Amino acid sequence: MLTNYIRAAMTGATYELLDDGTFYGEIPECPGVWGNAETLEACREDLQDALEGWIILGLRLGHTLPIVDGIDLNFSKEVA
């Protein structure tokens, strides 16, 4: 499930070539997740590393993560 979430989120990433010749990428559905590197492939790797850290921290802190491509990583607390 986690791998599919990361794959789906990365599919929604946007990239641009900056004036300084580096690449910038972000995932609009995941606020604050971005990467920057000298090549597009390195930018993708940087972006995925940022996404993975963002997911781990979000889950650990109990944040509600966006549902990406129907994949929901949020824990539902059931009332007994």
Give the residue, 76 or 31, on which the prediction is more confident: 31
Domain that holds residue 49: 2-61
| Per-residue model confidence (pLDDT) at position 75 | 84
Residue 2: what are its φ and ψ, rounded to 5°? -65, -45
Instruction: Classify 23 in phi/psi space as left (phi over 0), alpha (psi -120 to 50) or beta.
Output: beta
Domain-located, residue 9: yes
Domain-located, residue 17: yes
Q: Name, in order, each residue with C-beta under 8 angstroms of 17's C-beta and a sequence gap of 6 or more.
A: 23
Domain-located, residue 11: yes
Domain-located, residue 51: yes
Judged against a pLDDT cut of 80, whether residue 80 lies above it is answered with no
Domain-located, residue 79: no
Confidence of residue 79 (pLDDT cuts 50, 70, 90): low
Domain-located, residue 48: yes
Digit-coded pLDDT (tens) for 17-66: 999 999 999 999 999 999 999 999 999 999 999 999 999 999 999 999 99
Dist. CA 3–CA 44, nearest whole Å: 15
Residue 41 sits in a domain whose CATH number is 3.30.160.250
Dist. CA 38–CA 6, nearest whole Å: 22
pTM score, whole prediction: 0.90
